[in-house]
A and B are shown apart, each in its own frame.
Chain A
Amino acid sequence: MADIAESGKVTTTPAAEPAERKPLPRWIITLSSVVAVLILWEIFGRQVNPVFGSYPSAIAAAFWELAVTGQLWSALYDSLRPFLLGYALAILIGIPLGLIIGGFRVAEAALGIYITAGYAMPLVALVPLLILWLGLGFAVKVAVVFLMALFPIVINTWLGVVAVPKTLIEVGKSFVAPDTVILRRIVLPATLPYIMAGIRLAVGRAVVAMVIAEFFTTISGLGAVIINSANNFDTATMFVPIIILMVMAIGLNWLIGFVERTVAPWQAEIAGRERE
């Protein structure tokens, strides 16, 4: 009854009912799924010629070899530097840009079209041009990662600003908040879930961009490990960096989710769902 909640003594957060059977934790389901896929892969992968495919135990052995010789760590270091810098720049520039485009009519009309077009830009085709501008080294790799990661962040931030309920802005106005305060204290927090979704989407694109950059510029990093082992028909070794990249993306995604729950805890609470 509403009047019970009105008294203020009863907590409205639904408490876990002790009598109910606890549902299986999500991590157990995920882990079982991964184990099942690995087992199937192992069984069927062994039937295939090792040039055309590989299987988990062979990949693990190749991983061990790359790790012991130190090749893996130097490749990872070479890849992560441009990746992290490009990704960080995309976040630092993308969020304010999205806020400005979403917040100001003129900016939206003047710049929105480039963002929409840029999202669909065939970046691979532009890499040769970027090489002419920036050379074959570190800078061009940062640029490729930055350009791939920037657009989903800008677009999501922009859409988030547009989706802020008008009434919340009117709350600010009715208390005579200046526009800058409304942007910082109402629009920005209301947009945060969208921004975080954009940052998540950008992870996958940034990882792909990093490998593309390593293929098309100076062959280096994890991309070089992929190319060299593929050229030697060493399929198991080729899978090592690919799997490392996918695991890295999962890790980053988890980290972003953790940051999201820390900076915007109300969102998960409102949605009524704990995400892991």
Chain B
Amino acid sequence: MGNDAVEIAINTIKLVVCFLLIVQAVPVLVWLERRGSAFIQNRFGPNRIGPLGLMQLLADAVKFLHKEEFAPAKAVKFLYYAAPVVALVPATLAFAAIPLGAPVHWDQYVFPLQGYEVSVGIVFVLAVSSLAAYAILLAGWGSGNKYALLGALRASAQVISYELALGLAIVGIIMTYGTFNFGEMIHAQEGPLHFSFMGHELVLGFLPNWGIFYQPLGALIFFAASFAESNRLPFDLAEGEAELVAGFHVEYGGFKMLLFFIGEYGHMIVASALMATFFFGGYGLGFMTLAELSASVATVVQDPNIVSLVTSLITFAVFSVKLAVFLWIFIHVRWTLPRFRYDQLMDLGWKTMLPWALFNTILTATLIYVGHL
């Protein structure tokens, strides 16, 4: 945690802030989703309460808190109440390990702008988010409802299937940068596009040095699989209103339902953050390296502590913009595409994405081997 009281205090506060970030982003995302869907479908959406309808979120939250506390008679009580809590944990744990900005150097301290630093961050995030299937299964079985159980089986089978494609799609980018660490990966994506291939130095100055230019196929598979991982349209077979009423959370109401909601949006946020970190330079500015940025900040202010702080805030803003773009794509896709049929979903996962991800891995390995020869 740290060596003295100041460091321990700051690190503890950071953990709380990371948790609150994800919980507080959810109402905003819900508002964005409702306004965005209205925009796409040529409606108004919530626009009565507060400016732009923003207070609608507060009204919703209060409503959820005041709903009757209710558990179905056939439910297994312990699992029924445990499931919403379990749903919240993986997304928040995973998000806390993703760097949101450049580390702050303040006197002798170094504070990374993330909940905690894990040296093999990618493995950690994959490991923690693979536990999300338990929340779905617990909710489906614990509710004592056929529809809930069917929804849970669908959702967990989907999550497990697409985890493979997701993991394999990342292997390419891990091989390209040769690291499991988010910080090192972001550092490797700084500056304009430059790489050495078979002894030739190649520089493409008009493009940033981002992962997507090395791994376009991997990026595509990763992004598509992350839609399925977070149970969003076009892969929201778990909900399938016409077939399953509402899926695994059909027996949940009030704040318990809201916890599932936060978990689902949390997965979306984690997926967007990973997408930005792997393929779009993370908190990096694209053409400008971190050293150049902090040098240009240093021309305005002198104090090195303030320079470091301002640099990190700028990188945090850059990261937030990238995150927001991907979140908006998530929402836009949901209101644009129809739902897959279940056999199509499994075909896409196992027969299309997995072979292509394997091909991408082999291709990357070959290119790296040939390129470094």
Decide whether A and B assemble into one complex.
no
List the interface of chain B (C-beta within 8 A of A). Answer: none
List the interface of chain A (C-beta within 8 A of B). Answer: none
